[in-house]
Structure 1
């Protein structure tokens, strides 16, 4: 459960923004969406390898 302390005289919009940011960092929605359907381990591994290759390509471009 997320607890967001609200300071005296703080704008509710600012507190809501802090709550949303903290909620995004926990990854709850990403986890719920990923659990809606089953993905085979081979598909997950392939996506992980593709992501690693993409990131490596970006790092290689930086070096040039």
Structure 2
């Protein structure tokens, strides 16, 4: 559970922004989306290899 302590005199919008940032960093939403559908380990591995190859290609172009 995320806890955001609102400091004395702090704007509520600022505290809400900190909460949203923490929520995004713990990747709760991403994990929920991943668990919606089962993906075989071999498919995950294939996607990781494809992503790595794409990143390597981008670095070579620079």
TM-score in terms of structure 2 length: 0.93
Number of residue-to-residue matches in the alignment: 62
- Deviations 1:1-30 (CA, angstroms, capped at 9, x unpaired): 111111111111110010000110001110
Alpha-carbon separation, structure 2, partners of 1:15 and 1:58: 37
User: After the TM superposition, which segments of 4 or more aligned residues of structure 1 sit over 2 Å from their partners?
Assistant: none
Q: Deviations over 1:2-60 (max 9, x none)?
A: 11111111111110010000110001110011001100111111110010001101111
Q: Over aligned residues, Cα RMSD in angstroms? A: 0.8
| Corresponding residue for residue 2 of structure 2 | 2
Residue 38 of structure 1 aligns to a residue whose secondary structure is coil
Structure 1 gap segments, 5+ residues each: none
1:60 lines up with 2:49 in the alignment: no
Structure 2 gaps, min length 5: none
Q: How does 1:1-64 map to 2 (within 5 A)?
A: 1-62=1-62
TM-score by length of 1: 0.90
